[in-house]
Structure 1
């Protein structure tokens, strides 16, 4: 039996502030794809279209073989981790994770156990009753990751989730993401980042986005090395003007 791609963007067109964008992309099941590119290239817009927050003007979004074009965000088989973690300030860490299981927080004993185990998996055992304001930025992002993984969706989108963290903590969070992904089995990850080094050692492939188009998609080290593509080399600071 042929395995369906985890994600296909087929002729997706969208205009942002008069700038036309077109996305064509195929992502394999279980792939970790890092999306890099200059500011304004369309990285966040791309994720918003996949998640259903923005409707494309043309084209189709297919997830695991099912056409998701026009399907509301809440009904798409994916989770989204934002840069600002998107936690509810009035809720505890346990409750914020529990939202990933039940939006109304009506959790059974087994579901409460799942939420507690998710917090334990991200290194926050004992933090169940803490609210976001009582936690550091890294701890809040751990809660956001726990909530995403407890949802058990096959596709995970991350929009610069560790951008506000220092280099050492960012590497720690990426390692945590890698470990959570292994525990989850086959999970496909699309991660937008401004830091190409975040992809090294973690992402299987890198997609470089520029002016609303994918310039190149390929293995991480190959793409982040001297690629011969001027836009990529200029972004990475390896381009030598002739």
Structure 2
């Protein structure tokens, strides 16, 4: 293990049927965000899939991915500990709000009461005290986004991958949710990779911007 801190992408290249979609080398410090912008179909989400370890085998890819000096490139997805937020919060409809969060707590944390207390504390931190027993379908879009974020953070990820998680929120909620996500990531010291086509997302992220698929 080296003394590198944060996320390092070293000559990452992704292609489909011989056509290169992504070519990037970058360093993302802890708490900072790399924004990858481009039109639909340009390879933005494909890059996240490569970083997370779940790239479709139809794509060919090469290049190293390291976090704090740990080489993730050869690791299975579940060993990479990449936290991911998608456009949809993907809450489990058969679980309560509390259980939706608790399910992400690492197995090393023992005891139902302890795990439940951690989940309840995360809800309180997100301004959702009292919602723990609720059906997730009763939450607003912004509330669902907060639950999804807290679930990811409780999983103790090495890095945070954002796949246009603000795109389905209305303008006011979008601003609030952006601020919450980037603040939480900074506080947790997580390197973040955001893919988006929204310039306002990139501005809020306040980090390096890499563009793919531009003419």
Q: For this structure pair, what is the TM-score category when the shorter chain's length is used for normalisation?
A: 0.7 to 0.9
In 2, Cα distance between the equivalents of 1:183 and 1:59? 29
Deviation at 1:176, TM superposition (A): 1.2
Is the alpha carbon distance of 1:201 and 1:137 closer, same or farther for their aligned partners in structure 2, counting shifts above 3 Å?
Answer: closer
Matched residue, 1:21: 21
SS of 2:176's partner is: helix
Matched residue, 1:96: 100
Is the alpha carbon distance of 1:183 and 1:117 closer, same or farther for their aligned partners in structure 2, counting shifts above 3 Å?
Answer: farther
Is the alpha carbon distance of 1:66 and 1:82 closer, same or farther for their aligned partners in structure 2, counting shifts above 3 Å?
Answer: same
Is the alpha carbon distance of 1:121 and 1:157 closer, same or farther for their aligned partners in structure 2, counting shifts above 3 Å?
Answer: same
Mean Cα deviation higher: 2-11 or 172-181: 2-11
Matched residue, 1:142: 146
Matched residue, 1:192: 195
Deviation at 1:3, TM superposition (A): 4.4
In 2, Cα distance between the equivalents of 1:33 and 1:10? 14
Stretches of 4+ moved more than 4 A in 1? none
- The runs of 5 or more residues in structure 1 that have no matched partner are 212-230, 232-242
TM-score by length of 2: 0.86
Deviation at 1:25, TM superposition (A): 2.1
- The runs of 5 or more residues in structure 2 that have no matched partner are none
2:81 is the counterpart of 1:77 = yes
Q: Which has the higher contact order (CA 8 A, sep 6+)?
A: 2
In 1, Cα distance between the equivalents of 2:67 and 2:187? 21
In 2, Cα distance between the equivalents of 1:59 and 1:183? 29
Cα deviation code 1:170-216 (max 9, x no counterpart): 001011113323432x11111112211122243222222226xxxxx
Is the alpha carbon distance of 1:70 and 1:191 closer, same or farther for their aligned partners in structure 2, counting shifts above 3 Å?
Answer: same
SS of 1:117's partner is: helix
Matched residue, 1:226: none
Mean Cα deviation higher: 34-43 or 23-32: 23-32
Q: RMSD in angstroms over aligned alpha carbons?
A: 2.4
Q: Which structure has the greater CA radius of gyration? A: 1
SS of 1:126's partner is: coil
2:50 is the counterpart of 1:49 = yes
Q: Is the 8 A contact 2:91 2:100 kept in 1?
A: yes
